[in-house]
């Protein structure tokens, strides 16, 4: 009885030792040399694997950033400058300062602003819908509202307002990874610099239709009238294919164009609301959009 | 057992409600909106300007590429605008708008009803005439006919196939022309046989059209080498590759054209258009359109001039039926929903189908249980459930290409047969377009 137990233990120990030696030899022979810094860098990254940097995930980013001679265009939009500085310090490379960005929806075709001309009863996906036809409102360029962008967002930063029929970005949560930009078949999402104090001015419309058609289908469309181009003292606005575009690099946030726009298609976000201020009170700064719905 | 294609297929309820309605000529309206994108390939370029006077049959658009075609005026009058207008999907397409004045035809066009049997033209002359008449495939895809009849030099066709299957439910326009104008169709087929220099011609007709079979058999008997073949009823028999399989037993390889196996397939409507183009000098300016649906009180087969708005065609059935909820250009399986009723008919429009809400309602999607019904139904031998899965993951283009998503003919058999009501076709169509795009870019690079 006891002999059997001893034999078993001894033979198992011998087998275990034998296998460990074989495994050790094999591991030595097929060892993959890896830069230990990759692990260090990966631990510094947010680990969301969102692909916002344009690479497969955080590990791929770490590998690339270690290999690259300079950081250059490699940038983690989720971590932002803070993480990139740490990464640069760990590698002894120089960090490149970038402006924080945020996704903006260049369409404000709510149910009130553009009425439905037909109802889509197919599979609820913007991609499928745009492969079949131009959309269920008269506008061919605007938001389809089926939420492909919502489905790809890993940060819960974008949502559909069912009541108003429009997509909204939560700028606190948005890390500008660009997943929604790629998912949108109508290309109405743009990554724009957040701007000083999160204040920015942009055209909230993507319609390239002629003015008369655009206005007919949506009351807040850019009609390509060019008034904003003339009003802008900094030459920041260009008009192409009946659609105005504000260059964020040139825009000084003077908001002259906002007042000038006849359809209120230009948005000024996070500015203090222009209300007559009572002398003793401080100017109220709110997080809401400064245009009344 | 009657002949049919070997794999897949479904048997939807045929619903040929309008099969006994004679072809009626729809009156010419006040304004015609003629699209410049009447065919597959590059849209035609307008050659008329605002204020120009045009006659019926006058060229108003000229081809802009190899795969392109002429567009003719279907009415006489004054051009009031050349501008982009929404097509049936709402996408802007260049249209020529003509205000109708009288009905003045070009002198060369023979408008008599006499049947011209002699074919005095050579192969080149026939192709030239077909090209100048702007004839396109009327089976649905609207591929320019003169290109199909002029295969590359190294490939030789040995037979012509005339597609009279009309396997889509509801549509009866091909059935009606086969019953009412069989001789013209047979002469059209003979003209195409001469153009292709082939000895054999098979006319495939499904068994649910007995009158058409008899009349086509009579008409075909006076032409040597022409034979009517009765086929079993199965959808999508009218697909080129399926029809070749059913009639000749030849399999067209993946990504290849039917000419690879020596066959050229043309629709019966195309055959009639070819007859009119060659023997009567009449360009393709009108076609038979079925206006049907269970909610339609008067089923109609109408001979409609190209460029008639869909909304105006509803007048022929006594106005918009109360319970009509969805309009479809074409049949219920492959037709496209009409999002914009102000869009006008095209050369290849075969039907305007009106469906009620109950008929169009989609059932709620549930989970795939791997029953394999979609695989059984797919006429191209694909695995729709797998394509759906790969498409939903996103970015699996190599795998999708390996699974031959580009072979999908978008017939909708998978969606029709799925007990879980998964929108297979909607999803596969998108990934097919993406994979085709990738493949095209790759071949451009090489």
Mark out the alpha helices in B284-372 (DSSP H runs).
Answer: 310-313, 357-360
The pLDDT score that the predictor gives to residue A292 is: 46
Q: What is the mean pLDDT of residues B432-443?
A: 93
The pLDDT score that the predictor gives to residue B113 is: 87
* Closest residue in chain A to residue B327, using alpha carbons only: A118
CA distance B200 to A16: 78
* Closest residue in chain B to residue A141, using alpha carbons only: B91
Q: What is the mean pLDDT of residues A249-259?
A: 90
Q: What is the ipTM of this complex?
A: 0.84
CA distance A159 to A149: 8
Contact A229, A237 (CB under 8 A): yes
Query: Closest Cα of chain B to A133: distance in Å?
Result: 4
Contact A105, A189 (CB under 8 A): yes
* Set of chain B residues whose Cβ sits within 8 Å of the Cβ of A135: 90
The pLDDT score that the predictor gives to residue A277 is: 55
Contact A83, A95 (CB under 8 A): no
Q: What is the dihedral of CA B392, B394, B396, B397, to 10 degrees?
A: 100
Interchain proximity A131–B433, CB inside 8 Å: yes
Query: Closest Cα of chain B to A189: distance in Å?
Result: 20
* Set of chain A residues whose Cβ sits within 8 Å of the Cβ of B420: none
Q: What is the mean pLDDT of chain B?
A: 92
The helix, strand and coil proportions of chain A, stated in percent and rounded to the nearest 5, come to 35, 10, 55
Contact B326, B354 (CB under 8 A): yes
CA distance A291 to A274: 10
Query: Closest Cα of chain B to A20: distance in Å?
Result: 39
* Set of chain A residues whose Cβ sits within 8 Å of the Cβ of B423: 122-123, 128
Instruction: Work out the widest C-alpha separation in chain B, in whole angstroms.
Output: 64
Contact A125, A194 (CB under 8 A): no
The pLDDT score that the predictor gives to residue A1 is: 83
The pLDDT score that the predictor gives to residue A197 is: 87
The pLDDT score that the predictor gives to residue B267 is: 95
**pLDDT tens-digit series, residues A117-155:** 888 888 889 999 998 888 888 888 999 988 999 998 888
Contact B69, B131 (CB under 8 A): yes
The pLDDT of residue A293 is above 50: no
Confidence of residue A283 (pLDDT cuts 50, 70, 90): low
* Residue A111, both tokens: 């149910």
Interchain proximity A136–B89, CB inside 8 Å: no
Q: pTM of whole model > 0.90? A: no
Q: Nearest by CB to B90, from A125, A127, A140: name it.
A: A140
Q: How far is CA B145 from the centre of its chain?
A: 12
The pLDDT of residue B188 is above 90: yes
**pLDDT tens-digit series, residues B282-303:** 999 999 999 999 999 889 999 9
**pLDDT tens-digit series, residues A34-76:** 888 888 888 888 888 888 887 888 898 888 888 888 887 788 8
The pLDDT score that the predictor gives to residue B305 is: 94
Q: What is the mean pLDDT of residues B132-157?
A: 90
* Residue B223, both tokens: 């032409």
CA distance A75 to A93: 13
* Residue A141, both tokens: 């360029």
Strands B300-305 and B286-292: antiparallel
Which bin fits A244, alpha (ψ -120 to 50), beta or left (φ > 0)? Answer: beta
Cα distance between the two ends of chain B: 48
The pLDDT score that the predictor gives to residue A280 is: 56
HSE-CB for A237 with a 13 A CA cutoff: 28
Q: What is the mean pLDDT of residues B391-397?
A: 86
Burial class (CB in 10 A: 0-12, 13-18, 19+), A171: middle
């Amino acid at each position: 009885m006891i002999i059997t137990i001893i034999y078993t233990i001894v033979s198992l120990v011998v087998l275990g030792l034998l296998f460990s030696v074989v495994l050790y030899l094999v591991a030595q022979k097929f060892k993959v040399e890896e830069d230990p810094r990759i692990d260090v860098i990966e631990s510094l990254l947010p680990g969301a694997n969102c692909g916002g940097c344009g690479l497969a995930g955080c590990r791929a980013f770490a590998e690339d950033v270690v290999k690259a001679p300079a950081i250059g265009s490699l940038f983690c939009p989720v971590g932002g400058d803070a993480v990139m500085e740490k990464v640069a310090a760990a590698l002894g490379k120089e960090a490149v300062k970038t402006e924080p960005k945020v996704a903006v929806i260049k369409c404000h075709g709510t149910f009130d602003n553009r009425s439905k001309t037909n109802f889509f009863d197919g599979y609820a996906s913007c991609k499928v819908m745009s492969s079949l036809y131009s959309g269920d409102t008269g506008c061919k360029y605007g938001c389809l509202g089926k939420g492909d962008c919502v489905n790809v967002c890993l940060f819960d930063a974008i949502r559909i307002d069912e009541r108003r029929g429009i997509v909204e970005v939560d700028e606190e949560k948005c890390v500008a990874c660009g997943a929604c930009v790629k998912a949108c078949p109508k290309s109405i999402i743009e990554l724009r610099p957040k701007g000083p104090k999160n204040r920015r001015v942009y055209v909230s419309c993507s319609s390239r239709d002629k003015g008369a058609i655009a206005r007919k289908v949506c009351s807040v469309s850019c009609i390509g009238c060019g008034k904003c181009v003339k009003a802008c003292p900094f030459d920041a606005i260009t008009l192409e294919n009946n659609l105005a575009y504000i260059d964020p690099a040139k825009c000084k946030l003077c908001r002259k164009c906002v007042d000038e726009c006849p359809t209120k298609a230009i948005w000024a976000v996070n500015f203090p609301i222009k209300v007559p201020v009572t002398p003793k009170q401080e100017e109220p700064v709110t997080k809401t959009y400064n245009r009344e719905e | 057992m009657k002949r049919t294609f070997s794999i897949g297929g479904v048997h939807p309820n045929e619903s040929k409600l309008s099969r006994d309605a004679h072809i009626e000529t729809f009156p010419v309206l006040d304004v015609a909106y003629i699209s410049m994108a009447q065919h597959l390939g590059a849209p035609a370029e307008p050659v008329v300007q605002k204020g120009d006077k045009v006659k019926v049959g006058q060229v108003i658009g000229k081809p802009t590429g190899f795969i392109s075609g002429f567009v003719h005026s279907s009415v006489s009058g004054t051009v009031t605008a050349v501008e982009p207008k929404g097509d049936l999907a709402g996408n802007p397409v260049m249209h020529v708008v003509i205000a109708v004045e009288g009905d003045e035809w070009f002198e060369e066009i023979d408008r008599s009803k006499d049947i011209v049997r002699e074919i005095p033209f050579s192969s080149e002359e026939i192709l030239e005439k077909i090209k100048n008449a702007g004839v396109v495939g009327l089976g649905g895809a609207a591929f320019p006919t003169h290109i199909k009849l002029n295969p590359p030099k190294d490939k030789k066709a040995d037979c012509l196939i005339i597609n009279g299957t009309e396997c889509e439910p509801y549509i009866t326009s091909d059935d009606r022309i086969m019953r009412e104008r069989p001789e013209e169709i047979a002469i059209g087929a003979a003209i195409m046989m001469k153009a292709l220099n082939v000895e054999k011609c098979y006319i495939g007709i499904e068994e649910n059209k007995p009158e058409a079979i008899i009349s086509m058999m009579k008409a075909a008997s006076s032409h040597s080498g022409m034979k009517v073949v009765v086929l079993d009823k199965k959808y999508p028999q009218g697909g080129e590759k399926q029809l070749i399989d059913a009639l000749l037993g030849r399999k067209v390889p993946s990504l290849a054209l039917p000419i690879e196996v020596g066959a050229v397939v043309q629709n019966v409507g195309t055959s009639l258009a070819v007859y009119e183009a060659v023997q009567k000098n009449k360009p393709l300016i009108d076609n038979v359109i079925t206006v049907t649906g269970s909610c339609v009180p008067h089923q109609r087969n109408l001979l409609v001039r190209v460029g008639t708005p869909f909304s105006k065609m509803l007048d022929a059935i006594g106005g918009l039926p109360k319970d009509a909820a969805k309009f479809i250009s074409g049949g219920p399986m492959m037709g496209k929903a009409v999002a914009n009723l102000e869009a006008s008919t095209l050369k290849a429009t075969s039907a305007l189908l009106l469906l009620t809400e109950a008929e169009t309602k989609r059932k709620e999607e549930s989970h795939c249980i791997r029953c394999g019904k979609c695989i059984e139904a797919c006429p191209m031998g694909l695995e729709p459930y797998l394509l759906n899965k790969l498409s939903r993951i996103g970015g699996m283009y190599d795998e999708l290409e390996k699974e031959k998503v580009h072979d999908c003919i978008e017939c909708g058999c998978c969606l029709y047969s799925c007990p879980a009501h998964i929108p297979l076709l909607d999803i596969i169509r998108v990934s097919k377009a993406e994979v085709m795009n990738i493949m095209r870019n790759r071949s451009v690079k090489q």
